[in-house]
């Protein structure tokens, strides 16, 4: 979920040249407000760079600047985007489809359940798809809110099941994976947030979710039940918004990266 938030350096260090066919348009970083061409370019770069670290981005910009200097020309938007793309191996066709389906599922459920805004989606990374989502702070953190959050986390897996009838390991396998985060939240609901099916008034701290779930079969069943319900809810939401979902999958597959404005245009047009 990492993106470019700052062009870096002073106005004299980095100028962005936008090329449209035979026309060239130069803007400096301070001219990044609203819908100016440079603001649009930076949003596109930020979306392309999701999943990269700050060190990755610094290296890409430095290499692109050196290449432009060797060719005795200005640094262009296309140079930086090419640098980002060049650091990533091509993704096979079928894998890219699965990434597009997975990330579109997250986005559609996030939007439909009014969890917040969408800043960008990409399937053009070395370790799978990424999304940048924000969460509204004006909603009370009730059990319903956490239930919607769980549905969003389970939506990538639900989307794969709807379209492909199979699931990949992309939802799990890591500490920050969808399943890992959803499991921790569901466990918190049972043990620490006052929503538990047994002894809801007790606050039971747990530093090792895996250990406690392996020891307590009843607790594991309740947590798993919450995840099953969340996946079923995500499935229902995606099916209710199937037109928007299908269009988003196609657009994301073709573009490989969409900023928040592009995603919202798709979701709004189909609603």
At 97-150, the pLDDT tens digits run 999 999 999 999 999 999 999 999 988 776 678 888 988 888 888 999 999 999
Residue located via tokens 């059990």: 143
Helix (H, G, I), strand (E, B) or coil at 121: strand
Percent of the chain topping pLDDT 70: 82
Cα distances (Å, whole numbers) of residue 85 to 107, 133, 213, 243: 23, 22, 41, 30
So what's the pLDDT on residue 89? 64
More confident residue, 55 or 45: 55
* Antiparallel, parallel or unpaired: β 118-122 and 23-27: unpaired
* Antiparallel, parallel or unpaired: β 257-259 and 130-133: unpaired
Q: In whole angstroms, give the CA distance from residue 269 to residue 72.
A: 44
Would you say the C-alpha torsion 117, 248, 20, 12 has a positive or negative sign? Answer: positive
So what's the pLDDT on residue 88? 61
Residue located via tokens 């798809």: 129
Please tell me the total number of residues recorded for the chain in this structure. 271
| Segment 129-137 long-range contacts (CB within 8 Å, at least 24 positions apart) | 129/99, 129/100, 129/102, 129/103, 129/170, 130/1, 130/2, 130/50, 130/51, 130/103, 131/1, 131/50, 131/103, 131/106, 131/107, 132/1, 132/3, 132/47, 132/50, 132/260, 133/1, 133/106, 133/107
Average pLDDT over residues 178-206: 93
Q: Measuring CA to CA, which residue among 269, 231, 265 is closest to residue 147?
A: 231
So what's the pLDDT on residue 138? 80
pLDDT band at 32, cuts 50/70/90? very low
pLDDT band at 35, cuts 50/70/90? low
Task: Tokens for 23, please give them.
Answer: 């026309």
Average pLDDT over residues 186-207: 91
Average pLDDT over residues 245-250: 97
Percent of the chain topping pLDDT 90: 46
Q: Is the pLDDT of residue 46 over 50?
A: yes
Note the pTM of the prediction, 2 decimals: 0.74
So what's the pLDDT on residue 19? 40
Average pLDDT, the chain: 82
So what's the pLDDT on residue 3? 32
The H or E element spanning position 212 is helix 209-215
**For 174, how many CA atoms within 13 A lie in the half-sphere containing its CB?**
8
Q: Is the pLDDT of residue 26 over 50?
A: no
């Amino acid at each position: 979920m990492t993106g470019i938030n700052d062009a870096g350096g002073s106005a004299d260090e980095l100028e962005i040249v936008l090329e449209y066919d035979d026309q060239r348009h130069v803007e400096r970083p301070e001219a990044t407000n609203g819908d100016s061409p440079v603001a649009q370019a930076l949003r596109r770069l930020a979306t392309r760079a999701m999943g990269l670290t700050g060190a990755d981005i610094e290296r890409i910009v430095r290499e692109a600047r050196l290449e432009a200097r060797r060719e005795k020309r200005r640094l262009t938007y296309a140079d930086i985007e090419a640098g980002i793309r060049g650091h990533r191996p091509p993704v096979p066709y079928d894998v890219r489809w699965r990434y597009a389906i997975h990330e579109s599922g997250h986005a559609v459920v996030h939007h439909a359940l009014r969890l917040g805004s969408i800043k960008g989606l990409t399937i053009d990374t070395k370790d799978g798809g990424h999304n940048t989502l924000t969460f509204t702070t004006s909603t009370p953190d009730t059990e319903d809110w956490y239930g919607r959050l769980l549905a969003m986390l389970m939506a990538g897996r639900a989307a794969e099941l709807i379209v492909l009838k199979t699931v990949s390991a992309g939802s799990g396998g890591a500490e920050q994976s969808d399943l890992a985060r959803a499991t921790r939240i569901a466990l918190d609901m049972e043990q620490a947030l006052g929503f538990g099916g047994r002894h809801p008034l007790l606050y039971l701290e747990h530093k090792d979710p895996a250990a406690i779930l392996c020891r307590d079969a009843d607790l594991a069943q309740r947590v798993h039940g919450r995840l099953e319900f969340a996946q079923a809810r995500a499935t229902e939401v995606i099916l209710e918004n199937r037109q928007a979902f299908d269009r988003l999958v196609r657009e994301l597959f073709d573009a490989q990266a969409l900023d928040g404005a592009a995603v919202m245009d798709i979701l709004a047009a189909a609603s």
